[in-house]
Every structure is written in structure tokens, then in C-alpha cells.
Amino acid sequence: MRNADNADSLARVNAADKDGAHVGRIGRSPLRWHLALLTVWTLAWFIAAERHGGVSWHYIKNGEQLLFGQVPGGGLALYVNHPELQIGPVSFLVAGLFAPFPAGLGEKLAEATMSGLGLYMLVLIGRTAAEHYRGSGLNHKRLQQRVLIAGLAFIPMWVEVSVRFAHLDDVLALFFTTLAVRSLVRGNATALGVILALAVDSKPWAVAFLPLLLALPKSTWLRSCAVVVGVVAVAWLPFYLTHMNTMNAAHFTIPNQAASSLRWFGATGSVTPWWDRPAQMALGLGLGAWAVRRGRWPAMVLLAADARIVLDPSVYTYYNASILLGTVIWDAIGQRRLVPWVSWIALITLYGSALFVPSDSTRGLIRLAFAVGSAAYVLFSPVRPPRRGRLVRTADTSAHVPAQATGVHDRPHQTRAA
């Protein structure tokens, strides 16, 4: 009888998935209305920002030329001679893809590519949410509406990092993190380890996203951690083994800006305090691990980004792209409300204050209040669980098995209630 019930349940799920595959399509084309609207929205913001874009592209370009020996003082001595380049080697390798083009054209192509990655990330998040809630009676139309509304808030901040500042390293770190979330939902422990390592190899602060590994079944932790260590070592060890003082680059300091939330912690000096980077990393990792322990792994990206903005001495607007990625993941996967208001509160609070609040101290306080408030919300607010009979994908097989209603409080791919 149980096998017959399971077969009937699986048939209903497959039928719902088949129906969901056609929801929101434009006529008979594979393109959906919400993605078409987001594409137009992305293009509009790209055109607006491109005229004054590429503010920091010269750092990426200079690092790429140094790494490949096109200018002296680089190679494996790159980080010793240029500690200001707090950028991972993978970012320089990717920047090399645009090197064959004339400088101006290569920069524009990079900006367009990075903008397109933001749109693709929204597609991935929508698909990941659909897969995570597969078998729970998910309303695909409502999910598409959530992704659309959250995406409208996400794109302006994504254009800040991808076009206005052209920070390829941050773009890659966030892109790989989005892929990591998808691998987590699919239960692919090896892919998750590789992708998280690539995020760290693109931008070192992506270490704060590593608690995603804890959302896997414990039996896969050792393998995933070994993969992360191995891939990170391949990228970074050549620099450290050939130039031992490369470690000094980790102590590079930047100005402590007047609008930084650090000043509300008593750090009023002109440069980064000695304890700041370790505290920033510890806070991000600690909050992420706590979220996973509470069964709220979709909050992890937002929490790591909160830790970054609240303890960083700089206040550049492109930092907010990581916050908005975190809110979109939470709004699409972590909760099932139609209106993704967390994403819009983030945009209005962080971007709005940067544009319209003249007081540096007040802007720092607003950033601190948002980080504390959003962290408390995603960690402790009640979340509506999915319906009973949800089918989840196990970590070690592609087969689907029936599960009790676990909601977002469970680790993905577990077939029992936490």
C-alpha cells in the first residue's frame, strides 16, 4: 500500500513539475515573462551606468598583466609587490579572456558579461527554489513573481558592482556562490566544494560562505572540505611557497571611512584596526554556522554579507550587491511570501541612505541597524513550512524519496524531520 501511495505521490509531483515547466512562457517560446522584464530592466541599468563605468577595472587589468608577466614586478611575486591587489588569481585568469581585445572594447565586453551573469544568477535562484520545494505544492507562478520583484531590487546593485565599479573579483565570488547554492540543493557535495573554493580563489572574503558545507549530510563533510582545501591550495600555494612574505599581503590596511559602521564600535582611527579582518571573518563564519544549525541555510549568504558591511572600513555601494544576493536567495528559497520585501528594504535602506543621507555617522548607523535587524529576522522569524509529502533529493542519489514536511528549517536532502 505504501509503495502504491508513493507511486501516486510521485506521479502527482511529476505532473505538477510538467505543468510548472510551462508557467509564464511567452507564447510557445521558452522565454518567460518575468525573465523578459528582468532582461529589459538589466539593459536599462547597464546603459545608464556604462557611461561612467569601469571605475576599478584598472586594478583587474593591472593584476592580470602582472600575473602573466606583461609588466615587471609580477608573476608569483604579485602579492608581495602589490599587496593592494586584494584579488584572487582566478579573477586575473578570467580577466585574461578579455585581454585580446582593444582596451576599451575589452572593458565594455567584461562589463556586459558581468551584467549578464547577474541576470543568469536570478534564473539559477528561481530554478534552485523550484527544485528545493519540489513536491511541496509549489505555486510556480508565485515563485516567478517573487523572483521578478526581488530581481528588480537586485539588478541596480548588481550593476553597481559589475558595471559602475567593474569588480570582476566580487562578481565571480558571488556568481560561484550562487552556483554553490544550486549544488547544495542538488546534493552534489564534490561540486559544492569545488565551486566554493573557486569563490575563495576569486575573492578571499568569500571564505565566509564556507558554512554552506555544513548544510550537507555529515557523511560528506570530510570529502567536501578536502576538495575545498585542495582547490584553494592549487590557486594560492604557488605564491606562498615561492615568496614566503606573501603572507604580509593579508595585513594590508585601507582607510577607515567616516561612514563606516566600525566607528560605532569605537574604531575611530584613520586606518583598518588590527582586529577588524579576523573579527569580520569570525563573525561571518559564526553566523553562517548558526544559520545552518538552526536549519536556515538559505540565510547564510545574507548573514555573511551582513558581517562584511558592518565591520568593513570601506562603504562602497558595490558592497551591497552581496547583501542583495543574500536577500534574493532568502526571499526565493528561505521563505514563501509573495512579496520579497527583505530585498526591497535592503535596496531602500542601503542604497537610499548612500544617495540621500548627508551625515556620514548616520549612514554608518543605518548600515549597522540593517545588518543587525536583517540577521535577527532571518535567524528567528517564523517561516511557513511546505506542505506534507514533500519529495526531497537525497545527497547520494538522484532518486526522489518521500519525506515529512521539513520546511526550510531542515538541511537539504535529509529525508527525516530535524
The tens digit of pLDDT for each residue in 90-114 reads 999 999 999 999 999 999 999 999 9
Query: What pLDDT is attached to residue 27?
Result: 57
Query: What pLDDT is attached to residue 6?
Result: 47
What is the distance, to the nearest Å, from the Cα of residue 308 to the centroid of all Cα atoms in its chain? 12
Higher pLDDT, 369 or 405: 369
154 neighbors 125 (Cβ within 8 angstroms): no
Distance from C-alpha of 298 to C-alpha of 75, rounded to nearest angstrom = 39
The residue-averaged pLDDT of 224-237 equals 97
Query: What pLDDT is attached to residue 16?
Result: 47
Distance from C-alpha of 113 to C-alpha of 183, rounded to nearest angstrom = 23
Cα-Cα-Cα-Cα dihedral of 309, 311, 316, 319, to 10°?
-30
Query: What pLDDT is attached to residue 398?
Result: 35
Q: Does 4 fall in a domain?
A: no
Q: Does 416 fall in a domain?
A: no
Distance from C-alpha of 248 to C-alpha of 214, rounded to nearest angstrom = 30
Query: What pLDDT is attached to residue 407?
Result: 36
Distance from C-alpha of 15 to C-alpha of 297, rounded to nearest angstrom = 29
Distance from C-alpha of 340 to C-alpha of 368, rounded to nearest angstrom = 21
Q: Does 39 fall in a domain?
A: no
Q: Does 25 fall in a domain?
A: no
Residue 110's closest CA among 45, 162, 42?
Answer: 162
The neighbour count for residue 3, using CB atoms within 10 Å, is 7
Per-residue pLDDT tens digits for 343-356: 999 999 999 999 99
Tally of structural domains, the chain: 1
Distance from C-alpha of 167 to C-alpha of 174, rounded to nearest angstrom = 11
Which residue range(s) make up the domain with 264?
Answer: 56-409
Q: Does 135 fall in a domain?
A: yes
pLDDT above 50: residue 404: no
Unique residue bearing C-alpha cell 590596511: 253
Copy the grid coordinates of residue 146. Answer: 517573487
Q: Does 40 fall in a domain?
A: no
Q: Does 289 fall in a domain?
A: yes
DSSP 381: S
Residue 331's closest CA among 196, 144, 202?
Answer: 144
Query: What pLDDT is attached to residue 24?
Result: 67
Per-residue pLDDT tens digits for 187-209: 999 999 999 999 999 999 999 99
Per-residue pLDDT tens digits for 12-39: 445 445 545 567 666 565 677 889 999 9
149 neighbors 179 (Cβ within 8 angstroms): no
Query: What pLDDT is attached to residue 69?
Result: 83
Per-residue pLDDT tens digits for 137-179: 888 889 999 999 999 999 999 999 999 999 999 999 999 999 9
- pTM, rounded to two decimals: 0.88
Distance from C-alpha of 373 to C-alpha of 326, rounded to nearest angstrom = 14
214 neighbors 221 (Cβ within 8 angstroms): yes
Residues in the chain: 418
Distance from C-alpha of 238 to C-alpha of 235, rounded to nearest angstrom = 7
pLDDT above 60: residue 60: yes
pLDDT above 70: residue 405: no
Lowest-pLDDT range, 4-8, 76-80, 201-205, 239-243?
4-8
Copy the grid coordinates of residue 288. Answer: 553562517
Higher pLDDT, 88 or 140: 88
The residue-averaged pLDDT of 364-391 equals 83
Q: Does 240 fall in a domain?
A: yes
259 neighbors 315 (Cβ within 8 angstroms): yes
The residue-averaged pLDDT of 300-318 equals 95
Copy the grid coordinates of residue 278. Answer: 579576523
Distance from C-alpha of 416 to C-alpha of 402, rounded to nearest angstrom = 9
pLDDT above 60: residue 74: yes
